[in-house]
Amino acid sequence: MTHRITRIVGNRRIAPIVDGIDFADDAEDDTPDYRSAFPPSAWLIDAANAGEIAKLRSVVADRKRHAIVIARAPAEWREATSNLTRLLLGSREELRVVRRDGSPELLDSVLAFLGHCHVVLTAKPDDEIPEVYKRLALVEIDAGRITAEHVDALIRDRWPGSGARWSADRDVVSIPSHHLSTAFYQAATPGEIVEILDVIRRHDVAEKSPAKGEGEEKSDLDRASENYWTEQPKKEKQKPEPEPAKRVVDEKMKRAIAQIEVQRPASPVLDDLAGYGAAASWASDLALDIAAFRVGEIGWQDVDQGCLLVGPPGTGKTLFARAAAATTGLPLIATSYAQWQSAGTGHMGDVVRSIRTIFAAAEQNAPCILFIDEIDAIRGRGTDERDDGWWTAIVTCLLECLDGISRIEGIVTIGACNHADKLDPALVRSGRLDRRFEISLPDEPALLRILAHHAPDVSPTDLEPIATALAGTISGADVARMTREAKRAARRGKRAMTGSDVMAAALPAETRSREIVWRTAVHEAGHVVAFLVGGHVPDALSLVSGGGMSGHVRGLGSRDGEGRLGDLEARVLPMLAGRAAEDAILGEPSAGAFADLEHASTILGRVESAFGLGGYLTPGGHDRVSVEGRIRRIYGDALMLVVRHRGSIVELARLAVERRVLSRSVLEQFGRERGII
C-alpha cells in the first residue's frame, strides 16, 4: 500500500506525521453539490463508485464523525482519484512527508487522528490491504471500476440525446486520466473524443520513439500505439513507457530561449517576509517536497505543481515568487501577458510563439519556478464579443502549454492576478492553477514586520504606532516607498534614520486646529476608558484623520456577551462615552458624535423591535419614545463614568495628542497603571 499522510485543520497546515495517510478536516465550501461540476475523470470515478461515495458524503455532511477511506487507482489515475477525495472531504491545504520503512506505528497514527480528521489510505490496484484497514474503512473508492457504461453516461450528460456510445473493447482506465479529461473538454461532439485521444497518443509515441524506416521491425511501443483503440484484455498491464523527452525546438526558438532571463534569487527567503499567511505555508511545504523529490524520496506526482495568487496591486505577489524560488533553491523564470504582447510585431503568431518559448525555457531549465504575473490580463473566452477569436487562441495556447508541463517533472507554475473573476474558468480547473491564495493588505502584526524589514535600525516600539494606524490600508510596496522617503530625509539631515522620519513619511501632517484635535482626543479617550472599565482593551486609538473620520477607536463594537439585555446595554455604553466626555469635560458635546448615537440607537431599536427584550414580544417597528428613554438612561450612566474617571480620560487624551496613535499594548499598560482594569 502506498503511504502518504496529509493532515488539514481549517486552512492551516500542521506538522507532518507519516507518509501513507491523507487527513482532511471538514469544510463547508469545497464539496460540490452535483457530479456535473466535476472534471470528466473525477465524474467517471464518482459514477463508478456511486454507492460508496453517497455513503461518504452522508458522513461528511453529518460532521459528527470522520471516516477512513481506501482509494485505489493505477498510476495514471492516481492524481484524479486524489483530487476527487479532496473535493469530497473538503481538504484545501496539504503537507506530505514520505516514510518508506513500513513503520508499525502507522495504525496508531490513523487511530490518533481519526477523532478529528478524515483519513485516506491510497493504494495501487494490486496492493494487498491489511485486514485491519479493511475492517476500519467506511468505503473503498476504486478508479478501476470505471467501464464503458460509465463513459456512456458521461457522454449523455455532456451531449444529451446524441446516442453516441463508447466501445466496450476500449479499456477506459488504460487511458491516462488527463488525456481523457482533455478530450472531453476540447471535443465539440462525442465523435471528436476518440480523434483527440488518437492525436495525443500518436504525438506521445512520436516524441518517445525513434523514427522507423519502412520494413523495420516495429517496437512494443509502436504496436501499443496501433492497438490503443483496438481490443485489449481488460486491466492488461502495459510495459512501462520511457520518461517523456524534452520538447524538440527549432534553431529560432533555441535562440529565443537563450534570451529568456533565468533568475537565481538567494534572498529574501520566506522566513524574512510577513503577511502571506497560507501562501507562505504552502511555499514552505513546497520546499520540503522539492528537497524530498531531489533525493528520490517522493515522485513528482506528490509535489504541488502550482498555485494562483490573488490580491490588490502592491501586495508583494512578485516578491513572493522570488522568495519561493530562494527558499526552494529553484531558478525563477518570470513572465506576463504584457511581455508576450510586446514580443515581435505583437500579432497573434508572435504572441503565441512567445508563450510557447517561455514554457519551453521552463522545460529546458527544470526544475524551476515559472511565474506568470498579471494573468488576468488574458480575458476569458466568450467575454469579449469583438475580439473573442483572439482571446480564444491565446487561452487555448496557454492551456495547452500548462497541460504539457504538468507531465514534465520539475516545473512549478505560480500565477498572479488582481481579479480572479476575470480568468477563464479552464485556467483554474483541477490540475492547472487550482490552488488559490488571497494576498490581502497586511494586518497590524504583518505590517510591523514589514516595517521592521525595511527599517531594521529603527526600534519596533517607534514603528508600532505606524502599523497600528495603517493596518489593512497600505501594502508592502507603500512601506518600501515610505521608508525610502524617511531615509532620504535622514540623509539630508546627515543623521541616522529614526522612527520620527518614518512616522513623518507614513502619516499625513496634522493640519487641524489645536481645539479640534483636543476635542477629538477627549472624545476618543472617553470611548477607551469606558471600554477599559468594562474589562475590554480596544485594538487602537488613532487621531489620524482620514476616510471621513477625524479619529477612531478600533475594536469599539467587538464585545462578547450572551445577547441578554444587560449585555447589549453594556455594549452601547462605551459608544456613548465619547459624547459624554465632550459634555462633561469640555462643557458641551459636538455633532461629531452623531455616528455613535446612530449606532447605539440601531442596537437599542432592535432590542425593542426584533429581540423581544423590550416592551413587546412580537417583532415590529420600534417605539422611538421607548428607545429614547433607554438611550438617555444609558447616557446618564456614561456621564457618571466620565465624572469618576475624568483624570484618566484627560491624561489619555494628552498622550494621544502627543503620539497620535496608541496601540493595544499601550492602552492596556495605561489601564493597568491607573488601576482601571
Q: Please work out, in degrees rounded to the nearest 5, the angle formed at the alpha carbon of residue 477 by the alpha carbons of 476 and 479.
A: 65
Beta strand segments in 66-222, E: 68-72, 118-123, 139-142
CA dist 334 and 264 (Å) reads 11
- Write the single-letter amino acid at 382: G
Q: H or E stretch including 429?
A: none
Strands (E), 374-428: 411-417
What are the residues whose beta carbons fall under 8 Å from the beta carbon of 88, sequence distance 6 or more?
Answer: 31, 53, 56, 57, 60
Longest pairwise C-alpha distance within the chain: 107
Residue corresponding to grid cell 475523470: 41
Beta pairing, strands 436-438 & 306-310: parallel
The number of residues in the chain equals 677
The active-site residue, picked from 524, 569, 582, 608, is 524
Single-letter amino acid code for the residue at 490: A
For residues 489 and 505, is the Cβ–Cβ distance under 8 A? yes
In sequence order, the β-bridge partners of residue 12 are 9
d(CA 656, CA 232): 82
| 524 in catalytic set | yes
Q: At what angle do helices 476-492 and 444-454 cross, to 10 degrees?
A: 40
How many helices (H) does the chain have, and how many strands (E)?
25, 14
Amino acid at residue number 596: D
Other beta carbons within 10 angstroms of residue 585's beta carbon come to 19
Looking at 407-543, which runs of residues are DSSP E strands? Answer: 411-417, 436-438, 540-542
Q: Note whether 426 and 398 are within 8 A (CB).
A: no
Residue 614 makes CB contacts below 8 A (sequence gap 6+) with 607, 608, 622, 623, 626, 630
Encoded amino acid at 581, one letter = A
For residues 395 and 389, give the distance between their C-alpha atoms in angstroms, rounded to a whole number.
Answer: 10
Local structure of residue 263 (DSSP, 8 states): B
Catalytic residue numbers, as ranges: 524
